[in-house]
Chain A
Amino acid sequence: KAGVTQTPRYLIKTRGQQVTLSCSPISGHRSVSWYQQTPGQGLQFLFEYFSETQRNKGNFPGRFSGRQFSNSRSEMNVSTLELGDSALYLCASRRATDSYNEQFFGPGTRLTVL
């Protein structure tokens, strides 16, 4: 069974640009969550999508957005990039049949903003 895949794995952008990251969940998983990992803050929750609907959102500015498609694949978009957006962006999926399913993470996309 294939794991969570994320593309691209590495990305370099400049301030003011926008970026779109992609995540394909494990087959059969309907919930996709996004996290930002930075050295100072650890892993911070961005948002969760289930059946194409955003169900939960973390404390990030509106420049961070996402969406989920009917096949459960998800994209995350960051507009007007800032230097502080440099981070590892992790996607995680879970079956979501009940609240106690664990999340499975992808390898992440390393975003560097210059």
Chain B
Amino acid sequence: DQQVKQNSPSLSVQEGRISILNCDYTNSMFDYFLWYKKYPAEGPTFLISISSIKDKNEDGRFTVFLNKSAKHLSLHIVPSQPGDSAVYFCAASDSGGSNYKLTFGKGTLLTVNP
């Protein structure tokens, strides 16, 4: 049972345009969401997060939108740069109590073409 789904295995965009990566979740207990970027042979790097009390969080070129009613979040990268080419993972957490466990989607490979 996959609780976090990234339905697009890959996405290709032109440099300077907007990249939109999508993520859906099924567990209504999730209340904290994160995006990670991963290059080959490296561990995932934290990008941006959002808690369920917000619907938008922005950090430079990266913005995450959360639609709780639809159980959907998206990551917008504007403008996209070739260095953004990587696998992007969406992750979610049920932060209740002292337990901490991230549930990850399977990732979306973003390719930004010069």
B34, A42: Cβ atoms closer than 8 Å = no
- Shortest CB-to-CB span from A109 to chain B, Å, is 10
Main secondary structure, interface of A, reads strand
**Of the 9-residue stretches A14-22, A62-70, A75-83, A100-108, which lies at the interface with chain B?**
A100-108
Contacts of B103 in A (CB 8 A): 45
A48, B105: Cβ atoms closer than 8 Å = no
Query: Which residues B39-82 have CB closer than 8 A to chain A?
Result: 41-46, 49, 51
B41, A107: Cβ atoms closer than 8 Å = yes
Size range of the interface on A? 20 to 34
Contacts of A102 in B (CB 8 A): 34, 46, 49
Residue among B43, B45, B51, B104 with the highest chain A CB neighbour number at 10 A: B43
Q: Does B11 contact A (CB under 8 A)?
A: no
Question: What sequence of 0s and 1s flags, for each residue 16-47 of chain B, a beta carbon within 8 Å of any chain A beta carbon?
Answer: 00000000000000001010100001111110
Report how many residues on chain B are interfacial, defined by Cβ distance under 8 Å: 26
Given A42-B89, A48-B99, A56-B99, also A103-B104 (CB < 8 A): no
Contacts of B41 in A (CB 8 A): 107
- Which of B42, B46, B98 sits near A55, CB closer than 8 Å? B98
Q: Does A43 contact B (CB under 8 A)?
A: yes
B101, A56: Cβ atoms closer than 8 Å = yes
26 A-B contact pairs sorted by A residue (CB < 8 Å): A33-B100, A41-B106, A42-B89, A44-B104, A45-B101, A45-B102, A45-B103, A48-B99, A50-B98, A55-B98, A55-B99, A56-B99, A56-B101, A58-B101, A90-B43, A96-B100, A99-B100, A100-B49, A100-B51, A100-B95, A102-B34, A102-B46, A103-B46, A104-B46, A105-B46, A106-B43
Binding site for A on B (CB under 8 A): 32, 34, 36, 41-46, 49, 51, 89, 91, 93, 95-96, 98-107
